[in-house]
Structure 1
């Protein structure tokens, strides 16, 4: 089967997932999480990637990021993957692969999905039953986005900045937003688009993408225009 190409556009956000091989743990100790974050910060700076949100789970990683060039994210992920595998194999006296093949990613419609993806990523530990509140999980961007805790590698997206005139107001607005339920349809749409490398967005956004790059943004059988009457009825 021919693999679907990853979809990139400079300055368009991407939701990225990378999983451990066979769903095995890729983080065993606090020092492992810190090492990954160190490698991510250096690679993002080197290759021109703005990191907006992230969570490091036991056996996988979620990142929301905006690349400055078409190759920025692929170079960043290659750098992180290579350096972290070398670190992990050395620390734990192992050999071989750590990751489950290629990372997966989807372009994110800023107007319709971006802040939902922020929340989807940072609330992962809550959905997994690891903590009761996102603030209790130490390996995500939630403390920065919701409480103003400094995490140097993070760059707020314009959609996040629009939440308030000051950092305090933005954090307060984001905390309130994070307390609202993410509809099951949105969760399913995020998962499906990311796993299949589709564009995550409205029909209009997908059509604009297809006209610009000449590549299908999704397969024909998948719907989900968030502005359609049918979609809105399903959310009620």
Structure 2
């Protein structure tokens, strides 16, 4: 079988990262972040893509997105987001040229085992980068929308694993907050990071086997291990 290129699957979450061209800064002022989120909110509805988590860093973005039945909309959404942000910054700074890398990275995520782990990974980016001490202190991620009532933030989609955390929104928020505050093992971080960098699957071996059968392509790098059994409690 031929080796796998980028895999996009309908109705599955995808961990997506897009970086600034040559890692240049793409967000400077609060208005830059706000504008991107406005565009994300508008375009996700236009393309029918669910947004489960996001984190906007100074020179890149992390998104957890799920296309519907049409896989093409994922690439269309990312292209439209990049084009809008480029036009906005070029107009603001009186410049021209490319703002983003031409190709974003993506990894299909196994929903039951890794969806919440990927949300946590994304929302803890500013903590790992030592920009803030607590995820709740960073205003440009989805974390505060998940654990608190934040104005104009109810456009974020509720992923099935988050819904399964409890019978009420209050209970789900409390359990997710506790989940994020747990110590995260280095293996989990490495697995998510390497799957993204290689454009491969974030999941267990049985998930890899399942996707190989569906798409008819060989996936060489296989994830090992999984989040702890209590990670969704």
| Superposition TM-score, scaled by structure 1 size | 0.90
* SS of residue paired to 1:8: coil
Q: Residues 112 and 16 of structure 1: is their aligned pair in 2 closer, same or farther, counting only changes over 3 Å?
A: same
Q: CA deviation at 1:13?
A: 0.4
Moved over 6 A (4+): none
Q: Distance in 2 between matches of 1:60 and 1:66?
A: 19
| Aligned counterpart, 1:168 | 170
| Aligned counterpart, 1:189 | 191
Given the alignment, which residue of 198, 208, 211 partners 2:210? 208
Q: Distance in 2 between matches of 1:175 and 1:148?
A: 13
8 Å contact kept, 1:12–1:108: yes
Q: Distance in 2 between matches of 1:81 and 1:4?
A: 25
| Aligned counterpart, 1:59 | 59
Q: CA deviation at 1:4?
A: 5.9
Structure 1: runs of 5+ lacking an equivalent: none
| Aligned counterpart, 1:138 | 139
8 Å contact kept, 1:147–1:172: no
* SS of residue paired to 1:62: strand
RMSD (CA atoms): 1.7
8 Å contact kept, 2:4–2:217: no
Structure 2: runs of 5+ lacking an equivalent: none
2:126 is aligned with 1:128: no
| Aligned counterpart, 1:50 | 50
Deviations 1:111-165 (A, max 9, x none): 2111110000001000000001011100010011122435132101111100111
Q: Distance in 2 between matches of 1:65 and 1:33?
A: 18
Q: Distance in 2 between matches of 1:49 and 1:148?
A: 23
* SS of residue paired to 1:6: coil
Aligned length: 224
The higher-RCO structure (CA 8 Å, 6+ apart) is 2
8 Å contact kept, 2:191–2:224: no
